[in-house]
Amino acid sequence: MSKKIYIDPGHGGVQPGAVKGSRKEKDDVLRIALKIKELLKGQDCEVRLSRETDVDVDINDRCKDANSWGADYFLSIHRNSAGATATGNEIWIYSKATDITEAKARNLLNAVTKATGLKDRGVHKGAVSYSDYGVNKYTNMHSALIELGFISNDGDNKVFDETLDKTALELSKTLLSLVGAQWKAETVKGDVNGDGKVTAADAREALRASAKLETLTEEQKKAADMNGDGKVTAADSREILTEAAGIYGA
Ligand SMILES: [Zn+2]
């Protein structure tokens, strides 16, 4: 059974979250949550969002939804707000979180630090009277609440916009690893050796495979089967060579 990842874009509807001018936290976090959902499509997991539109969902309902769905991991996405110079990413876990939950949160924070280059503000445990967020308290799986930069800081907002795709990708890969699944790279047609480009070397591999001189993995077969007839033949090799030469479709 595939693993279940629950993404909770914070706020929504009448709850804008933090605001800077016309910019609202609820919109930023929904944008990145939808991007993560799209990136995880076709991966070995199920994804569910607490909201996919601009609506206000009660915090208890978000948690209940994740609990009854049986999520393996719960990530709530937010953006921070403070004075204009405060910068960086941070992540919050339940006051009674286990070391495992903490290690998972650390991985997520490392992922966004890598993608954004912003300051690592650390993994924080809630305290009973302070920041023990409901999303961590009322969910019964490993969970965290991440703050992606400060909406109150123009520099952080610029980084948020410019690295949104990269941050979503790093978060997607990490979320997948947190539930014990592995990221599958998209197959590029013709890229038999998986080096990211289509060259004569790929055509040669396809030809060798068609002549049974080489055995390809299932992934490689998918990449090599240009005409989609379910087998790798000399015709596929020819197509790869044509594409490598840059005259494909000419
Ligand atoms: Zn928030």
Helix, strand, or coil here: 102?
helix
Distance 148 CA to ligand 1 centre (A): 10
> Considering 25, 90, 102, 147, which one is annotated as catalytic?
147
Task: Collect the ranges in the chain with pLDDT lower than 50.
Answer: 250
| Residue 224 and residue 149 share a domain | no
| Residue 152 and residue 204 share a domain | no
In a domain, 189, yes or no: no
In a domain, 185, yes or no: no
Residue 141 sits in a domain whose CATH number is 3.40.630.40
Distance 16 CA to ligand 1 centre (A): 8
* Contact in structure between 129 and 161 (CB atoms under 8 Å): no
In a domain, 250, yes or no: no
Distance 80 CA to ligand 1 centre (A): 7
In a domain, 187, yes or no: no
In a domain, 186, yes or no: no
* CA proximity to 33, closest of 70, 76, 2: 76
Q: How far is CA 67 from CA 5, 89, 135, 174, in A?
A: 11, 27, 11, 21
Q: What is the CA radius of gyration of the chain?
A: 22
| Residue 234 and residue 153 share a domain | no
Distance 18 CA to ligand 1 centre (A): 6
| Residue 147 and residue 42 share a domain | yes
Domain interval for residue 238: 200-244
Say how far apart CA 169 and CA 186 lie, in whole Å. 13
Q: What is the pLDDT of residue 248?
A: 52
Q: pLDDT by residue (tens digit) across 3-27?
A: 999 999 999 999 999 999 999 999 9
* Contact in structure between 162 and 92 (CB atoms under 8 Å): no
Among candidate residues 121, 148, 178, the one where a domain is terminated: 178
In a domain, 190, yes or no: no
| Residue 211 and residue 172 share a domain | no
In a domain, 104, yes or no: yes
| Residue 168 and residue 207 share a domain | no
Q: What is the pLDDT of residue 250?
A: 45
| Residue 8 and residue 104 share a domain | yes
Distance 66 CA to ligand 1 centre (A): 18
C-alpha angle with apex 45: 39 to 46, nearest 5 degrees? 85
In a domain, 173, yes or no: yes
* Parallel, antiparallel or unpaired: strands 45-49 and 3-9: parallel
User: How many domains does one find in the chain?
Assistant: 2
Whether 147 is a known active-site residue: answer yes
| Residue 73 and residue 21 share a domain | yes
Its sign, for the CA torsion 96, 102, 104, 105, is: positive
Q: pLDDT by residue (tens digit) across 197-215?
A: 899 999 999 999 999 998 9
| Residue 204 and residue 134 share a domain | no
| Residue 109 and residue 233 share a domain | no
Distance 124 CA to ligand 1 centre (A): 15
Distance 153 CA to ligand 1 centre (A): 15
| Residue 99 and residue 59 share a domain | yes
Residues in the chain: 250
| Residue 135 and residue 21 share a domain | yes
